[in-house]
Structure 1
Amino acid sequence: MKKSVIIAGISAAMLLSMGTGALAATKMQEIKAFLNPEIKVKVDGSPIQLKDAKGNAIVPINYKDSNYVPIRAISDALGVAVDYDNETKTITLGEKVDGTAIAQGFDNMYHTKDPDQTTYKGIDYKEAYFDNGKGSRGGSFMLYPKKEHQKLYLQIAAIGEDIEKMEIRDSDNDIILKQVDVVKVEDGLVTIEADIGGVESLYVHYDIKDNSFAFVPLTTSYYR
């Protein structure tokens, strides 16, 4: 059963646990509801403990004979990204239509805005991860999708020699989400896709030889 079907089957209508911003909505109405600890939730046949955004255990709410479960709790259990736009009062589940560049919040010693290092094959990408270290080495950087995105589209190019043994990992759970044996110089800028639904942080690692470089444009690599 697809995850989207599971979500719909658990509850026809769910409450969002997204923090104080949602509570400031002007059209909210007060209701009388009941916490119902007798309701149990299973995913693929296995019982789960629902938790809020802070990791605290929660129970479903019963209102007018319907059970309501926070979307955040269900999305975490199923590994589906969830995000809330307070300005438009919109909840987004799964992959977004518009991408978010990984340049936002990127922090690494090889992060550069130097045009000499952000330009690849005549195109200046403005911001890049440019690993120009010395010697044969393992390169790595962190990304933080914060469970708000479903997919990662990571662009990377090998310069000088091929990039080998590239991995994208769920850093918190030490799970490999994507493996690429080799990124060849001759292939130019390639795009690697990884499913990152429900993932807080990512660890990207690869091996590279001496006198070689790894180039990642941060403005055209993005989350969705």
Structure 2
Amino acid sequence: MKKLTIAVVLGTTIVASMATGAYGATKLQEIKAYLNKDIAFKVDGKPVQLRDGNNNTVVPISYKGTTYLPVRSISDALGVAVDYDSKTQMIQLGEKVEGVSISSSLTTNTYRTKDSSQTTYNGKDYKEAIFDNADSARSSSFILEPKKKYQKLYLQIAAVGQDLGKLTVKDTETDTILKATEINVADGLVTVEVDIGGANQLFVYADAKGDGAVFVPLTTSYYK
């Protein structure tokens, strides 16, 4: 949470930018505040324009000597994940306490399966997995959409039959490689930890040989 700590050190008070429906809540108190367009921002020495979730420019609010900023804009600028639960009105910054399966964020994938003959690895049935066993040399890949809600990805993966070429996890919007590592058969089922704070979509890929397979259990791969 180093980046989040930076925001705290700057002494900036952050408030939530919530859906318009939330403004009908009875606990809200009306105040008189001012939009302050004169305040500029830098992150790691580089100028930053604050924007909301729809890419509209936003400006700080000044109220009784304190500057308030929309949490979504700050989280995007610092690369810190943010999630808002409208039912509990809880804002979550950074890693979540409990892991969330990557299953629901996986886009359509030909090799996604619940066939026990393909979801079982070393005697354990993981119930749902990606099992890419194509019979030619290829780039084995899939797309995840964490939608900036999570700080970390814990991806479990195994090479079956043949070692994989370098496993790469890329942020598709910034074209930034977040992780690159070797995956070998002898490693067994490994957990790859990736910092994905601020990432909307991820492209995960590795070079697979014709007689080798790629196994990714979806039930034990998760976000935090």
Where on the TM-score scale, by shorter chain, does this alignment land: which range? over 0.9
Match of 1:9 in 2: 9
CA separation in 2, counterparts of 1:21 and 1:186?
Answer: 53
Match of 1:23 in 2: 23
Classify the secondary structure of the residue corresponding to 2:204: strand
User: Unpaired runs of 5+ in structure 2?
Assistant: none
Residues 114-133 of structure 1: pairs in structure 2 closer than 5 A:
114-133=115-134
CA displacement 1:179-223 (0-9 Å, x = unmatched):
01x211121100001100000000001001111110000010001
Deviation at 1:24, TM superposition (A): 4.5
Classify the secondary structure of the residue corresponding to 2:105: coil
Classify the secondary structure of the residue corresponding to 1:220: coil
Task: After the TM superposition, list the runs of 4 or more consecutive aligned residues in structure 1 that deviate by more than 2 angstroms.
Answer: 9-13, 18-26
Q: Is the 8 A contact 2:105 2:146 kept in 1?
A: no
CA separation in 2, counterparts of 1:129 and 1:25?
Answer: 44
Classify the secondary structure of the residue corresponding to 1:104: helix
Residues 27-106 of structure 1: pairs in structure 2 closer than 5 A:
27-106=27-106
Report the RMSD for the aligned CA atoms in angstroms: 1.5
CA separation in 2, counterparts of 1:49 and 1:8?
Answer: 19
Q: Is the 8 A contact 1:21 1:86 kept in 2?
A: no
Deviation at 1:4, TM superposition (A): 2.1
Deviation at 1:11, TM superposition (A): 4.4
AA in 2 matched with 1:158? A
CA separation in 1, counterparts of 2:20 and 2:100?
Answer: 24
Q: Percent identity?
A: 56
Match of 1:190 in 2: 190
Classify the secondary structure of the residue corresponding to 1:14: strand
Q: Is the 8 A contact 1:51 1:58 kept in 2?
A: yes
CA separation in 2, counterparts of 1:22 and 1:117?
Answer: 45
Residues 160-175 of structure 1: pairs in structure 2 closer than 5 A:
160-175=161-176
